[in-house]
């Protein structure tokens, strides 16, 4: 029981780390790119 709990804690900490990083990286370049494209097209 304690082993599973420890594993879950490690997985949870490692899961949100890369997920948040990927979301931020995906949203950061997507937002400026869309704005730049809109201004360039206009």
Q: How far apart are CA 17 and CA 14, in angstroms?
A: 5
Cα gap 8→32, rounded to integer Å = 36
Residues in the chain: 42
14-32 residue pLDDT tens: 555 666 666 666 665 555 5
Which of the pair, 13 or 24, is modelled with greater confidence? 24
DSSP label at residue 15: T
* Gap between the Cα atoms of 9 and 19, Å rounded: 16
Q: How far apart are CA 4 and CA 21, in angstroms?
A: 26
pTM over 0.85: no
User: What local confidence, expressed as pLDDT, does residue 10 receive?
Assistant: 54
Query: What are the C-alpha distances in Å from 3 to residues 9, 30, 38, 39?
Result: 10, 40, 52, 55
């Amino acid at each position: 029981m304690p082993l599973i709990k420890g594993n879950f804690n490690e997985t949870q900490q490692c899961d949100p780390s890369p997920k948040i990083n990927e979301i931020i990286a995906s949203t950061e370049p997507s937002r400026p790119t869309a704005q730049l494209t809109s201004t360039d097209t206009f």
